[in-house]
Structure 1
């Protein structure tokens, strides 16, 4: 089949099974084994019914996408070898795999990460810088790009920061004393002065701090603590939302703090079960409690 020339034997076997399953579906669907005319006449509705059956069998979106790829390759071969074409097959879109959101760390693990980050660099000012960045991610729920995009004139940090997030949307984020203190400690030690319009967080030579360095220092800290690979900079923002919600925070308020365009996105970024979410919603909106 087209697109499988360099595939491994295992992949070829999987493709054969996928195509055989598709042909078996057409047989069941139309009550007869599909010939040339039937293969040419497969409709968009047929394809949707097949995809629905595959999902109904418990296959993941990724497995269904692989099966669709096999069927498309099969039709590519039919086009070349038999002159059989079918735009409905080639136009069918695979289901999107579910987005893999970062898992939050618990409160104790977040504190341990911040403490451990301070030990990763022998230069005091760099250690203080890393602590300040990580504290901002967790205490204010910032994206790493938002934290590293802060200008020097933002310090000393006010009680609330104006953050420009995705799409240029602005939001107000309260600044906890711990975050303000961490930034102050870093600035007292920092040997560089980029001026008020320069970046707040600097690299070793005085330029803008590379986000990869923040990711790396967290990688080192989480490995030393035995935390999973999911404990990333973005997971700290995720943890910010989760811990606020677990403490009884209002979903709408958390949505605003995170800068999400929709409430559904905020719900997806929390590790609280659906019953907990509905309980909070029912208390906030008693008319909708049913």
Structure 2
């Protein structure tokens, strides 16, 4: 047994990354180790920049490993040369040329990129730092980001321009075999067609789609010589169709939601006309308009995609699944109105959409989803819970106070989410008692159709607003207070966010915004902007999730009701509970800003249904007790 040959399992040879090979070449060329550490290694990933002596030892070990492999697998001449150098100097002395031969002979030591490798192992420290700062720590995450964001993924990474992005994508594709993942084929490696700035050319043969603000058209399709152009003097300075569309949209500059909706409808039409029909907007005929109406019901795959940034190469004008019948009808009516305006200002000679009928839709008897309004007992429990958690001194206490202020503005005053997000302190006024009328806080709200209405605000809501303002470091009762009633406490560190909140020059303020240091808000920053509608919806969703997690004594019906509570459901809660409290319908109508009293009577119907349902339980109980 003792003389039987034994199988010796040797460990696999150590492998080295491209960065480490580059560092060894620099050392052979005589570059100081400290400089190599700064140039090739990230201080967050390795200790080498702070401890260059460790890098010195590592490079010596790496050199010896490569020499050993070269002796085993290289040519006899190279092996003899390396053995002689070791015998004379104790270790192999390598020059630039001999190192190159050693590398070629020791390919076993070349590491293969893997998905879980840190980006710092394969990319220069400067590039790796930018990637890591953008949340891209590994090669697998790098591929995932590129696939998710498309050809413009690099726009989200500071100082990674198109040229570097193209090199990175090509390298990732070369090593797809060892990474186990690959960059999708639709992630562009070629430069987009650019006319000026960031404008992308849209054409019949182009695979590009871009939103209105980044859109450019081939000269033949600009509409400068459109067949429907008016022959008389135009009232607007529009050389082509895009100028005319932008002139129309400029009329809605003060109505952000309306303007966004019209931008969406008109950019869809322009893209379709150029890509699918090959005609400019000012040459559309009735046949073209009918074809687009049919297209709205079933957009092609090239025009649909999941929601992404409007700067992404994967942006598409339609969401998957197409449009509902109501959305198709809205699109046709919005486009018809835009063409009417273009005719009125004598840019177009006529409106072909006048001959196109609206898509057929089902006439719904009741559009408002008032069944989502919270019952009075559940709404009361929600308010108590919000009040209790708003007294917390924990880090999340400030967020609870902001959420309470926002939810009470909608649930106690019937504000829409956009109104609650946009309202500012000067719109809120305190009125003293007048005879039998108690003192009241009154809010002047500009709602739909630019109609002004006055909304009473509850004392509990005022208390919540005061606490929220205290968190923001502002005086709610200051005579010159002009800030938004509800505003975010932490500002993201993005350039767009800093510009929005006026922080371009405040580096310390920007740092506080990113890290949330100190009070959790940007100190000394004038909070001139409140929540966006999207941000306010996010705060509402967070609060509802927290309520569902903490209110453990809810029954299944209450849990379902609370889970589907949207911001508009809180507005419906105010309407339903006001009617239940016998507030006159005309008063509820004025507070909620309904154009028609018929809309307000919907809440009466809802209250009667609830009354019938509740009383039927009582009658059923009486009938059951009589039988026994």
TM (normalized to structure 2)?
0.27
Q: 2:582 aligns with which of 248, 252, 256?
A: 248
Q: 1:93 aligns with which of 360, 385, 399?
A: 360
Partner SS, residue 142 of structure 1:
coil
Counterparts of 2:462 and 2:455, CA distance in 1: 13
Query: Quick one: structure 1 residues 264 and 109, their matched pair in 2 at CA, closer, same or farther if it must change by over 3 Å?
Result: same
Q: CA deviation at 1:157?
A: 6.0
Counterparts of 2:449 and 2:609, CA distance in 1: 29
Query: Quick one: structure 1 residues 100 and 254, their matched pair in 2 at CA, closer, same or farther if it must change by over 3 Å?
Result: closer
Q: Which residue of 1 aligns with 2:540?
A: 215
Equivalences, count? 188
Gap runs ≥5 in structure 1: 1-64, 66-89, 277-290
Gap runs ≥5 in structure 2: 1-324, 326-356, 432-440, 492-526, 552-558, 612-628
Q: Deviations over 1:14-40 (max 9, x none)?
A: xxxxxxxxxxxxxxxxxxxxxxxxxxx
Asked if residue 145 in structure 1 is aligned to residue 418 in structure 2, the reply is yes
Q: Which has the higher helix share?
A: 1
Q: Does the Cα contact within 8 Å between 2:411 and 2:571 map onto a contact in 1?
A: yes
Q: Does the Cα contact within 8 Å between 1:151 and 1:197 map onto a contact in 2?
A: yes
Q: Deviations over 1:145-196 (max 9, x none)?
A: 1111111444676621111111110111112211111111211222479x84
Partner SS, residue 443 of structure 2:
strand
Counterparts of 1:130 and 1:92, CA distance in 2: 41
Q: Deviations over 1:90-142 (max 9, x none)?
A: 98724245525142111221122234446498432222111111111111111
Query: Quick one: structure 1 residues 190 and 108, their matched pair in 2 at CA, closer, same or farther if it must change by over 3 Å?
Result: farther
Partner SS, residue 161 of structure 1:
strand
Q: Which residue of 2 aligns with 1:134?
A: 407
Partner SS, residue 453 of structure 2:
strand
Partner SS, residue 272 of structure 1:
helix
Q: Does the Cα contact within 8 Å between 2:411 and 2:570 map onto a contact in 1?
A: yes
Partner SS, residue 607 of structure 2:
coil
Partner SS, residue 273 of structure 1:
helix
Partner SS, residue 455 of structure 2:
strand
Counterparts of 1:114 and 1:157, CA distance in 2: 23
Q: Deviations over 1:56-81 (max 9, x none)?
A: xxxxxxxxx8xxxxxxxxxxxxxxxx
Q: Does the Cα contact within 8 Å between 1:222 and 1:231 map onto a contact in 2?
A: no
Higher RCO (C-alpha 8 Å, min separation 6)? 1
Q: For 1:1-290, what aligned pairs fall within 5 Å after superposition? A: 93-97=360-364, 99=367, 101-102=369-370, 103-117=372-386, 119=389, 122-154=395-427, 159-191=441-473, 196-204=481-489, 205=491, 207-209=529-531, 210-224=535-549, 225=551, 226-228=559-561, 229-270=563-604, 271-273=606-608
Q: Which residue of 1 aligns with 2:261?
A: none
Query: Quick one: structure 1 residues 220 and 92, their matched pair in 2 at CA, closer, same or farther if it must change by over 3 Å?
Result: closer
Query: Quick one: structure 1 residues 196 and 91, their matched pair in 2 at CA, closer, same or farther if it must change by over 3 Å?
Result: closer
Counterparts of 2:452 and 2:442, CA distance in 1: 12
Counterparts of 1:236 and 1:172, CA distance in 2: 18
Q: CA deviation at 1:227?
A: 4.2
Counterparts of 2:404 and 2:358, CA distance in 1: 50
Q: Deviations over 1:225-247 (max 9, x none)?
A: 42423322211111111111111
Counterparts of 1:99 and 1:251, CA distance in 2: 19
Counterparts of 2:586 and 2:368, CA distance in 1: 23
Query: Quick one: structure 1 residues 190 and 154, their matched pair in 2 at CA, closer, same or farther if it must change by over 3 Å?
Result: farther
Partner SS, residue 488 of structure 2:
coil
Counterparts of 1:132 and 1:147, CA distance in 2: 10
Partner SS, residue 140 of structure 1:
coil
Partner SS, residue 412 of structure 2:
helix
Partner SS, residue 163 of structure 1:
strand
Query: Quick one: structure 1 residues 251 and 275, their matched pair in 2 at CA, closer, same or farther if it must change by over 3 Å?
Result: farther
Q: Does the Cα contact within 8 Å between 1:104 and 1:236 map onto a contact in 2?
A: yes
